[in-house]
Amino acid sequence: MLPVQDQDYSLLILSSISKRRFYKRNTLHSKNIPGDMLFVVTQGKGILCIDNQAVPIKPNQTLYIARNKPIEVMLESEFIEYYILIIRRISLFKKRDGWHCARSTSDPSLFQTGKIQIKQAKQHHESVEHLYQESRTKSTKDPLLQLKFQSLIQSMPEEVPETIEFEDASKGIDQSISYMYKHFSHKIKLETLSDIAGLTPTSYSRSFKKAKTMSPVEYLNQIRIDYSKELLQQSESSIKDISAAVGFGNEFYFSRMFKNSLGISPTLYIKRKQLKVAVASCFRYRDCLHDLGVEDAFELNGYRHLELGIEENQRQIEIQLAELRNYGPELIIADYRHLPLYNQLKQIAPTVMVDFSMDWRTYFRRIAELVGREKEAQQTFSQLDLRVKFTRDALTDIIGLQSVSVIRLYSEKIRVHGMIDHPLSHLLYTELGLKPGSCVPLNERTKEYPVEVIPIFDTDFLLIDKRLSAQEEANLYNSMLKGTSWDAMKAVQNNQIRVIPNWISMSWAPSGQNQILDDLLQWHA
The CA-based angle 353-355-361, given to 5 degrees, is: 120
> How high is the pLDDT of residue 165?
43
Question: Strands of 297-300's sheet, edge to edge?
Answer: 297-300, 277-280, 331-334, 351-353
Distance in angstroms (rounded) separating the CA atoms of residues 272 and 288 = 16
DSSP state of 431: I
**Amino acid in position 200:** T
- Cβ 279 vs Cβ 332: under 8 Å: yes
- For residue 83, the tally of other CB atoms under 10 A from its CB is 20
> How high is the pLDDT of residue 300?
92
> How high is the pLDDT of residue 161?
46
> How high is the pLDDT of residue 409?
80
DSSP state of 331: E
Taking every pair of Cα atoms in the chain, the longest distance, rounded to a whole number of angstroms, is 97
**Amino acid in position 495:** N
Work out the angle between the directed axes of helices 216-234 and 169-183 (0-180°, nearest 10).
Answer: 30
Distance in angstroms (rounded) separating the CA atoms of residues 4 and 20 = 34
**Amino acid in position 132:** Y
Distance in angstroms (rounded) separating the CA atoms of residues 297 and 275 = 10
If phi > 0 it is left, if psi is from -120 to 50 it is alpha, else beta; for residue 51 that is left
Work out the angle between the directed axes of helices 143-155 and 121-135 (0-180°, nearest 10).
Answer: 170
Half-sphere exposure of 262 (CA within 13 A, CB side): 29
If phi > 0 it is left, if psi is from -120 to 50 it is alpha, else beta; for residue 441 that is beta
The structure's pTM equals 0.76
Domains of the chain and any CATH numbers: 4-155 (2.60.120.280), 169-270 (1.10.10.60), 272-372 (3.40.50.1980), 380-523 (3.40.50.1980)
DSSP state of 346: H
**10-residue stretch averages of pLDDT, the chain, 525 residues long:** 51 82 66 75 82 76 78 79 83 66 57 72 81 80 83 66 48 85 89 91 90 90 89 84 89 91 91 92 93 90 72 87 93 92 93 90 91 91 90 85 85 83 92 88 86 78 78 66 69 82 92 94 69
DSSP state of 32: -
Q: What is the SS3 string spanning 129-190?
A: HHHHHHHCCCCCCCHHHHHHHHHHHHHCCCCCCECCCCCCHHHHHHHHHHHHHHHCCCCCCH
Distance in angstroms (rounded) separating the CA atoms of residues 461 and 437 = 8
Residue 324 CB partners (closer than 8 Å, separation 6+): 278, 280, 298, 300, 332, 345, 348
Residue-by-residue DSSP string for 236-260: ---HHHHHHHTT-S-HHHHHHHHHH
Which of 57, 12, 53 minimizes the C-alpha distance to 39? 57
Distance in angstroms (rounded) separating the CA atoms of residues 330 and 276 = 5
> How high is the pLDDT of residue 88?
80
Burial class of residue 202 (count of CB atoms within 10 Å of its CB; 0-12, 13-18, 19+): exposed
> How high is the pLDDT of residue 93?
65
Burial class of residue 251 (count of CB atoms within 10 Å of its CB; 0-12, 13-18, 19+): middle
